[in-house]
Chain A
Amino acid sequence: MENSSSINNTGVSGYPSTRKGWVLRGLRDGFPICMGYFAVAFALGIEARRIGLSAFQSFLMSTGMVASAGEFAALMLIESHAGVFEMITTCIIVNLRYFLMSCSLSQKLKSTLPSIHRFGVAYCITDEIFGLSSAVPGYLEPFYSYAITFISVAGWSGGTVMGVLVGNILPAAAVNALSVSLYGMFLAIIIPPAKQNRFIGGLVAVSMAVSWIFSILPLTKGISSGFKVIILTILLAGAAAALKPIEDNNDSEQED
């Protein structure tokens, strides 16, 4: 309920006015992300163990990268003994959506915000934390993102380590069930605004449809999922921006 009301533009009432308030709010909003991350990272840990990473190495990877598709790609690169150039280019392509998200989030930061917080918030850009951070009205209080990230990364790194250590004793049915948790969270981020705004609803439906078509057409189905996300984001968000530009107001409510 809190998340659905935080995404639409019903006003700033109900939002914390102090830094401490934002931290508490972030810890609360981050809790479901922590649970979801734990589940997904568990699957990641099982994969890390399969290719021979230790629990400590997996912990470093998850804490340093905090990226789901990005880390699966990283494991694939380590397994295939990829060279430095291939590592860097693959990481850029698979994680390029964070570049777009960072561009988007840059507009939520006060222009006077000290650089140290820009370095800090940069670490906090994942699909879910970005979703929550960009959904607050007005400027983003960095400590809100830090609090969400603190609890989320605890779940993410903890889940990875647990996957490495005890992944082989969890029943396959449970691992299978956990694999959809992140997608459920994505739905929880995009569906409430789609319900409020018919254009966003249409955009979400078209995005899913085109994504599906891309995955079955012979010409496009070989494209990696990270690259597909970039191509479709540029095409569809570009088309949406051309069709229905957002209101041209100069206050800080531009992000929703």
Chain B
Amino acid sequence: MTENIYISLLIMCLTVYMIRLLPLLFLRKPITNRFIRSFLYYVPYVTLAVMTFPAIVTVTDNVWSGAAALVVGLIVAWVNGDLFVVAISCCATVFLTGFFF
């Protein structure tokens, strides 16, 4: 059992860093396999989409606030892709709809 918080943190930080480091360190040559290149190309889109939905709807106190934030986020991202503008729009939506739901 790891009762010492500092040792626990060190173990976990090192583990997470290794996960990020090993591919960068050992995949030095361009990958020529077209399937693997295509797979890696699509990874961020799938990963971020899976993480966003349905979590955005369930993370708030009220499902309808989250759903409204999703709709507003989709529209704002479609019209104006700026990270900050989209993020703030989602937060404002949850805050304002919180008064109604």
Contact = CB atoms under 8 A, between A and B. Distances in A.
A35 B28 CA distance: 34
Interface in B49-79: 49-56, 58-61, 65-66, 69-70, 73-74, 76-78
A228 B54 CA distance: 12
Contact of B19 (A57, A98, A115): A98
A208 B52 CA distance: 8
A254 interface: yes
Contacts of A173: 95, 98
A122 B8 CA distance: 21
A104 B41 contact: yes
B42 to A, nearest CB: 4
Interface string B24-53: 110111110011111111111111111111
Given A57-B9, A118-B25, A179-B94, A32 B74 contact: no
B100 interface: no
Nearest to A197: B45
A32 to B, nearest CB: 3
16 contacts: A1-B82, A32-B84, A36-B84, A60-B9, A64-B16, A78-B5, A91-B12, A104-B43, A173-B95, A179-B60, A190-B44, A205-B49, A238-B39, A245-B37, A246-B38, A246-B41
Contacts of A194: 45
A183 B73 CA distance: 9
A177 interface: yes
Interface residues of B, number: 79
Contacts of A233: 43, 46-47, 50
A236 interface: yes
Given A104-B43, A106-B23, A191-B74, A127 B48 contact: yes
A170 to B, nearest CB: 12
Greatest chain A CB density within 10 A among B22, B42, B49, B66 is at B49
A200 B39 CA distance: 12
B42 A32 contact: no
A225 B53 CA distance: 11
A230 B85 CA distance: 29
B69 A180 contact: yes
A-B pairs, 6 with minimum CB distance: A4-B81, A32-B84, A184-B90, A64-B13, A241-B38, A191-B77
Given A91-B15, A215-B54, A184 B73 contact: yes
Contacts of A136: none
A164 interface: no
Contacts of A184: 69, 73, 77, 86-91
